[in-house]
Amino acid sequence: MNQTITYRACPACEATGSTLVPDYSPAPWEIASCDSCDSVFLRNPPATEALEEEFAWEKTYTAKKEASRGSTVFSPMARKIRNGLKMYRDQNRLFRKWFGETGKVLDIGCGWGQRIAPPMVPFGIELSTALHAISDETMRARGGYCLHGAGAEAIWDFDPESFDGIVMFSYLEHETEVMKVLQGAHRALKPSGGVFIRVPNYASLNRRVIGKTWCGFRYPDHVNYFTLQSLKDVAARAGFTAELVNKITLPVDDNISVLLRKTQSHN
Ligand SMILES: [Zn+2]
């Protein structure tokens, strides 16, 4: 059976030439490195609609881990919940510092809509129909709202310079239209605002040591495999300067966290 395959262009530089990385490409999926820049990506992703259900389940799981509270049972699950809660508090401390105590903050791929703590005002974009309904209700009660749709599309429906902060937490590795969503974020962000991004770290020691069993590989949901450099490069093309958040741990960290600020223009 012959099929004509059109490979996805590089998400960072839009070049069409890429080279397969065979070790990381279990059939039918093809992880490739760009021939023109240092991006690594899934070059034959399924359509967004096909991902919707899986995506919804994953977000539900993540949101549950982060939103659960009140357990006092000493068990692995309780420990996970405590760790999730600590992460939630630590993150929100940083969000308030960067975006302001009462900042308007957009969470792209917001799941249950619990990530942004009061008194910040939460806005969201969510692909799953069920989770969008939950998020929208929660966010409206706190002065914001949630749009239903794909991040790279829906972000253009907000007014320019609407937000003090935009959060892309475990989202950008799923997005086939990286440049489009970053440009949309640039437009939707106030001049003083910041964009927080957390993605798997393709350059991590773990990935280089354990190779194809690395936890960052998820087929086919992860469509971009960033290093700090490739993330900085794509952000720069969209008009941002990136500051690394997890400076000390990066080489051994399975994730990269950066804060983007709009690059100062000269006018
Ligand atoms: Zn490229």
User: How many angstroms is it from 48 CA to the middle of ligand 1?
Assistant: 21
Please state whether beta strands 121-126 and 146-148 pair in parallel, antiparallel, or not at all (unpaired): parallel
User: How many angstroms is it from 41 CA to the middle of ligand 1?
Assistant: 9
> How far, in Å, CA of 151 to CA of 260, rounded?
17
pLDDT at 141 over 80: yes
User: How many angstroms is it from 154 CA to the middle of ligand 1?
Assistant: 25
User: Which CATH code, of 3.40.1280.10, 3.30.2420.10, 3.40.309.10, 3.40.50.150, is assigned to 18-262?
Assistant: 3.40.50.150
Instruction: Kindly indicate the confidence band of residue 252, based on its pLDDT and cuts at 50, 70 and 90.
Output: very high
Model-level pTM? 0.87
Which of 57-66, 104-113, 146-155, 221-230 is predicted with the least confidence, judged by mean pLDDT? 57-66
What pLDDT shows up at residue 70? 43
| 183, containing H or E segment | helix 178-188
User: How many angstroms is it from 39 CA to the middle of ligand 1?
Assistant: 5
What pLDDT shows up at residue 40? 96
Please state whether beta strands 255-262 and 121-126 pair in parallel, antiparallel, or not at all (unpaired): unpaired
- pLDDT tens per residue across span 77-136: 788 888 888 989 999 999 999 999 999 999 999 999 999 999 999 999 999 999 999 999
User: How many angstroms is it from 43 CA to the middle of ligand 1?
Assistant: 12
User: How many angstroms is it from 217 CA to the middle of ligand 1?
Assistant: 20
Backbone angles phi, psi at 58, to 5 degrees: -65, -45
User: How many angstroms is it from 196 CA to the middle of ligand 1?
Assistant: 22
User: How many angstroms is it from 12 CA to the middle of ligand 1?
Assistant: 5
User: How many angstroms is it from 62 CA to the middle of ligand 1?
Assistant: 30
- pLDDT tens per residue across span 162-218: 999 999 999 999 999 999 999 999 999 999 999 999 999 999 999 999 999 999 999
User: How many angstroms is it from 193 CA to the middle of ligand 1?
Assistant: 27
Please state whether beta strands 121-126 and 104-108 pair in parallel, antiparallel, or not at all (unpaired): parallel
Structure tokens at 30: 């093809």
Instruction: Kindly indicate the confidence band of residue 6, based on its pLDDT and cuts at 50, 70 and 90.
Output: confident
What pLDDT shows up at residue 53? 55
Domain boundary assignment for the chain: 18-262
pLDDT at 220 over 90: yes
| Strand ordering across the sheet containing 31-34 | 18-20, 31-34, 40-42, 224-225
User: How many angstroms is it from 244 CA to the middle of ligand 1?
Assistant: 21
pLDDT at 48 over 90: no
CB-based burial label for 119 (10 Å; 0-12, 13-18, 19+)? exposed
In the chain, the percentage of residues whose pLDDT exceeds 90 is: 79
